[in-house]
Chain A
Amino acid sequence: MSALKQLASRFFGGNTVFARRTVGGIQPLPFKEHSLRSRIMSTPIPQQLTIPIGAEESGQISLLVGIGDQVRKYQRLAVISLHTDGRSDVPVHAPTSGVITSIENSIVADHSEQQQRCIGLAVDGHDEALQLEPHSDYSQLPSTDIVSLIRDAGIIGMGGAGFPAADKLSKCGDSAPEFLIINAAECEPYITADEALLRERAGKVVAGAKILKRASAAQRYIIAIEDTKPDAIAALQQALQDDTSPETPCELVLIPSKYPAGSERQLIQCVTGREIASGQHPTENGVVMHNVGTAYAVYEAIVEGKPCISRFTTLCGKALKTPKNFEALIGTAADFLFELCGIEANNKQMSIVGGSLMGNELTSDKAVICKTTNCLIAACASEIATSKPEQACIRCGFCADVCPSKLLPQQLLAFSRTTDTTQLIEHGLFDCIECGACDYVCPSHIPLVSTYKKSKKVIETRQQSLECSDYWQQRFQFRQYRIKKEKEQALSRKTDSSTKPARTAERTAKALSEAADFISKEQASRDIAAAVARVKARRDEKNK
């Protein structure tokens, strides 16, 4: 086996190795060739940009500009402090110069289907930019500085999850990770943004990877790419050859082309053989993974000093005359990009954000590009699977054969139908990565993934309401206790005629401190948050 590997690496160049095969997975039609015919195009600057900051639920937004302010390119507009463990801040920058016209909620082309707080920018067309601070010699920078520069540039995971890149680096903590993996596995059909980026700018990606390696102090760094992308592989090999720095060289790992090969845990297993335990973070296992697009953004942020104001997005689908990859400014509307590709509006049946397997339907073409929008599909009717009537599950087990998490989708379906929470959790419902491979192969056309999503939601809300009721039960018990205490005090007061006001005050203070012990502040704040959420949900329901 190793002889084969050696032979292959000789054929493909110095550092290339082949990874093992992974469990499960499917090989759908890729539909990738159309958008790869032309080179990456920078979009012309649109008249209006709507720059998403983030969903209000996901973090604390602090605005740095107001309506009517004149802003310049690269200027910081707002910061969102995400409600993650690290409470990390992600700044948002102006993609070009103009005047702030609005600050409101708007639809964003991403996976969450939530509205996000957005800043409207009327573009003046001058594209006046702030002075940038390049650090072309990053090898002199200490890693903490690199991390803070990455944080200031507002870089989040460009692969789709959108986890702040700086947090991922600082999460490794004191121990340096063993592996830094650059994820170039773009396994979902239609999407070619990463592949195009590698074909044209592999050198910058490799440099970005090197910066990330420096920042994370990883021992080895690996670029993992599918073996079906010869152009990108050749470009990467060229870039690796050109790289003459004395550091440990970057390794290139070719992985089998299978969906969902690019999924974080699956890729880590494929490349390193490490299986990340359920519920653990890869960084706890000495692995940190970044997307190719993130590596490129990091390169730009450090070497050119440019904050993240654009991203690579694939525009494809049969309703477009010339599908291609764009370097699109954050905040560009989807229909603007569709127009640039020559959309045949009559043919378009549906707009999809993301690939065809995990993407969402875009409810409006006014939705704007955010930092995680990797693909927009203007799909013809012929491209989308027809929704066939759902038939009975015959337990054929095709779904279990393709599940990358080695779950039993057929059993999960049965337990979802009976809402058997215990069995659902035991059968790993929360290990489902919602890749849709089971849906893809189901001969009975059962919408498995949406069923699991619903079940997850049901279980989560049930858990929350349980916590809530526990809390209220505690409060009630405390009230009973307090009333009992008061009665006892009243009795003792009657019997003990020599009661003094001072003693009463003392008692009250004691009771109060007991109360404070009983209901911690944390609980109170959680209670308030839950109440707010409840009111909101009720209001939303009414609005519907």
Chain B
Amino acid sequence: MPTKKKDTAVIADNMMDAFLDEALKEAEKEFGKEKCYVAGEHEAHQLVIPIWPISLRWLIESNGWPMSRFTTSGGAKGSFKSAFCFQLIAWWLESGGVAAHHDTENKTSSTLMQSIIPLKYFDPNDPAHHRFQFRVATSINEWQRMLSQQFEVLKAVTAKAKHKPKFPVVDSRLTVGFG
């Protein structure tokens, strides 16, 4: 027969379980499942887009580039950060995703871009070409509005579909230079 002390412990445990279950359920209902989950699920939320080179994987200590995140690269002019940006876009597109390139200073080199990203994404006769879009913003406010608008459209389209897209949507914004 359980002792009174043990009974109290069981009741406390049950109360704690009920509290945890209810708290998570209510939080999911109010804030969304993508924001509220048990800590053990956090890893499942850290999705990545696979990247091929072991060297780059070693550098960032990950098998892919993070999704649902903001990433940045920096360097002086001529340091090939634009070439890296195009490399990321090429990987996104080849993994089945879409990309939008935001040129905020009207400087993008078409030659460089087309020398890294597969040519099919520039060929109007290729069905894949619509997956790579271009935006030219003439002010800081404008690229911010363009970015927000794209995101709003994404949310609206996926709301109609009742599912979020099951492909990587990549928004890559390039700044060739600023002064």
- A, B from the same assembly: no
Which of B's residues lie within 8 Å of A, judged by CB? Answer: none
